[in-house]
Structure formats: structure tokens, C-alpha cells
Amino acid sequence: MERLTSLDGIFLAVEDAVNRMNIGSAALFDGPAPSVEAVHDVFAAKIPLVPRCRQRVREPAGLFGPRVWIDDVDFDLRDHLHLRSLPDPEALEETVAELLTRPLDRARALWEVWIIDGLSGDRWAIVAIVHHCMVDGIAGSDLLSVILDRSPSDGTVAPEAWIPTPEPSRRAFARFSVATAVRSGIAHLRRGTEALRHLRRSWRHLRDISTAAKRLWYHQGRPRTSLTGPIGVRRRWTCAAVALEDVVAVRDALGGTVNDVVVAAVTSGFRELLLARGEPVEGRVITALVPVSLRGAGERQTPGNLVANVHALLPVGEPSPQLALQAVRDHLEELKDSHEVEATGLLLHIGDYVPRVVADHIARKILRGQRNVETVITNVPGPRSPRYLAGRRMIAGYPIAPIGGHVRITVAVWSYCDRLHLGITGDRDTVPDLDHLQRAITRGFADLLAAARPPRSDPDLGTSAPHLPEP
């Protein structure tokens, strides 16, 4: 048995028919598509490298006790691999939106992989859906890197024989729960003793965290936008890609980081979306939740969620792409010293300090009651060299992120080889213009590149302008 972290448990606790906490990716490959048996052999050989993929969650029998990972004694890889043929070569986005809202069977390991054929251009896809309690964005990227090969000639090896650990008895589970509670209590006692020994330092730290928490959750008087509100059970999903070298060119010319450029382009996209909806943007900002990885150098292959969040204010009222990037860059730099990471980390891991049932209740109240966050932007670095599955080269990989609570749109970004891939999720009932946002974000990157590389006017050569590839 292994206890779920507090944050992993929260993703299970807040899930319901409206708030599906599934994440994943849609990876496109050169064709022709391999057989299901060939894909099965690849996964059978690689799954032993990721033990979590053969485990399931055991819920406590009563109100108290931890959720734990145990071996899925009935694990059958065929239950998790599925084949689907598209009725229309352009129907991949609709298929992803549908799969994103399918409930994963909690009696099994919490993941599914769909082999999708019938795409145009002799291509096929792998759509992987994983419950958020298993991985965050970085862990999901690492998981994909483990499953995929670095060379088309990498052969599959015979899977090792696996003997699952029998499911623990009630008595064993009770002993584990008591031992876990005792260890947690000792850890809290040590932390409390250390805080009392350095009272002044502890007080300053608590004051800084409290200030950051107030800044996070209390934004008085900010006008509402159509980006937030009740959501339904159905989703939309769309994707796009931009050249990484162009994003790097913007960074080098205008300053900041690649992530600053991404956030600025997304800001431009939301500005255009709000204008198209007839909503005022002058002098306005919107609040984006931006996950921050807490993984150390030796924790890249660690499953689960090791993240905190900051709340970034996106200057949608700024019409100049260059000035918007400067504002984003300065604001994100300021957030690094604002203790927001500690404040959200304390909240996200509140289950380490209060009983599980209390933590679950608080998490549900926050998800369904908060109104400050208007979108989520997550940016995860991926491999810079090609990856392969069953000898076929992966040509693109688009991230899939959930929406929940009153947040109607999320934007996920994943880098692979020489491109940034965007996956944008929206509520089907209230976001009919998700494709408009996707095109607007792509134009946001193009506008930034134009600001970084002003067109050259020459009476003989005419005017040349930078070009971003079509999605």
C-alpha cells in the first residue's frame, strides 16, 4: 500500500459528472496504423517501467483513513487499450472531446488508451486519457516518454511476469491507516517544535503567506466576464501548433522566457475573444491559474502531482503585443517573490493537516464556489528529439486538460521537437467560439513575432513579413 498525496486525493474528491478530472494527450503518427496487437506488445513491454499503471485506488471503508494505491489484482491490459475508426478524417477533435468526459472505472487502473485510425494523410493517433490523481503535466509528459521509443528500430521485449500483491485485508488496512496517522502526527509535531524555536522567522513566513493568500482569493470589485459561469457535462476541444524557433526569436528580441511569450500570446487570444463577444476590455485584466512544478531534479519520474499555482493577471486591455508581453513578463517575475506558491501549496496539500473528509469538503467548496480564476494556462516542456511507437514516428503531440468549477476554458501547451503544441478545452454549452480563440492565440504568436522582426520595406524587394505555420 502507498498513500495518495493530499493533492492526488483532492482530484478524486472533487470529481463528479460535470467536473471530470481527466487529462491526457492526442499524439499523431505517420501511417499506416499498426495493429492493435502491435500496440499491445509495446505497452506490455513498457508498463512494468511504470508500476502505477497497474495499480488502482482503494477508498477507506469509513469516514476516516487514507486513500491508498494497491495493485489491481485483476489488471488486464486489454481493458485499457481500445480501437476506434473515425467516421470523418476531420473528427479527431470531436473524438477527443467525447473521450475527455468518459468516466474512468475506479475499480481498475485509472487510464485508457485509444488507437484512432481513419485520419487524413495516412496518419493515425493515440489518445491517452489518465486521471489527474495519477499524474500532473510533467509526470504525464514523462510517462509518455517512457512508453515511446527513441528510435524506430527499438524492438519490443517480452514482458516480465507480474505477480500482483494481494489486496490487503481490512485489518492490514487499519494497521496501515493508524501507522500513517502516527507518522503524520510526529511530522506535524516536529514542524511545530521547529516553528517555536524560530518564532520570529515563522511569524514573518506566516505573514507573507497570509498576504499572498489574500492577494490570491480576494479580488474585490472586478467585473465578471463570460469566461466564467456554470458549465455542462459536454466539452469542446481544439488544437494548434506554432514553430518553437519563432517563439524563441520573440524571447530573444523582446526579453523574458518562452513561458512569458506563451502567456502573452494567450492573453492576446482572450482579448480578441472578448472583443468578438462584444465585451469591454479597456483597462481590464483576467485571472489565469498557472501551475508551477515543485519537482526537484531527481523527481522527474515520480508519479502523482507535485505542483502549486500562481494567479497571473493577463492584461487583455493592452492592444500592443509588445507592451502586453512586457507587462506579462514583469508580472510573472513579481509573482516569483510573492509567496503565492507557498500559499497555494498550503491549500492544495491541506489534507496533510486536517482529516481527509474535511479536506475533501474544503476542496469541493473551493472548486464549485470560487469566481476569481477565469482560465487555466499550463505549459509543459516535452522531448526535443523524435519519439516512436511500433516503429512509427510521432509527428505531433497535443495536450488535453480538463475544465471544472466555473472555469469554462483551459489552455495547455506542450513542446515537442521543434514546435509548441496547444490543446484548448472548453465547455460545449457556453463556448461555441472555441475555434475562434484557437485562431486568435495563433495570431497572438504571429503578432509577437512581427513585433520582434519588423517588416523590411525595400522599393525593389517589396515588404517581407514573418510567417507562422498553419496549425
Instruction: Return the sign of the alpha-carbon dihedral for residues 97, 51, 345, 365.
Output: positive
pLDDT digits (tens, 9 = 90+) for 210-251: 665 665 555 555 788 999 999 999 999 999 999 999 999 999
> What nine digits make up the cell of 182?
502516527
198 an active-site residue?
A: no
Cα–Cα distance measured from residue 189 to residue 198, given in angstroms and rounded to the nearest whole number: 14
Cα–Cα distance measured from residue 456 to residue 369, given in angstroms and rounded to the nearest whole number: 51
Per-residue pLDDT, 221: 56
Are 149 and 388 in contact, with CB atoms under 8 Å apart?
yes
pLDDT digits (tens, 9 = 90+) for 400-422: 999 999 999 999 999 999 999 99
CA distances (Å), origin 431, targets 403, 424, 444: 12, 11, 20
Cα–Cα distance measured from residue 372 to residue 238, given in angstroms and rounded to the nearest whole number: 25
Between 439 and 297, whose confidence is greater? 439
> What nine digits make up the cell of 189?
509535531
Per-residue pLDDT, 460: 44
CATH of domain 219-464: 3.30.559.30
Are 86 and 92 in contact, with CB atoms under 8 Å apart?
yes
Cα–Cα distance measured from residue 75 to residue 85, given in angstroms and rounded to the nearest whole number: 25
| Among 132, 311, 339, 349, the one annotated catalytic | 132
Cα–Cα distance measured from residue 132 to residue 391, given in angstroms and rounded to the nearest whole number: 29
What residues does each domain of the chain span?
219-464
Q: What is the mean pLDDT of residues 198-206?
A: 72
List CB contacts of 374: < 8 A, sequence separation 6 or more.
225, 227, 228, 286, 287, 288, 407
* pLDDT reading at 146 higher than 90: no
Between 299 and 460, whose confidence is greater? 299
Per-residue pLDDT, 470: 41
Between 461 and 342, whose confidence is greater? 342
Per-residue pLDDT, 368: 85
* pLDDT reading at 358 higher than 70: yes
Q: What is the mean pLDDT of residues 158-181?
A: 85
Cα–Cα distance measured from residue 178 to residue 184, given in angstroms and rounded to the nearest whole number: 10
pLDDT digits (tens, 9 = 90+) for 7-58: 899 999 999 999 999 999 999 999 888 888 999 999 999 998 889 999 999 9
The chain-wide mean pLDDT, for the chain, equals 87
pLDDT digits (tens, 9 = 90+) for 425-436: 999 999 999 999
Per-residue pLDDT, 213: 60
* pLDDT reading at 180 higher than 60: yes
Per-residue pLDDT, 277: 97
Per-residue pLDDT, 462: 39
Q: What is the mean pLDDT of residues 266-280?
A: 98
DSSP letters, 241-284, are EEEHHHHHHHHHHH-S-HHHHHHHHHHHHHHHHHHHTT---TT-
205, with CB counted inside 10 A (0-12, 13-18, 19+), is middle
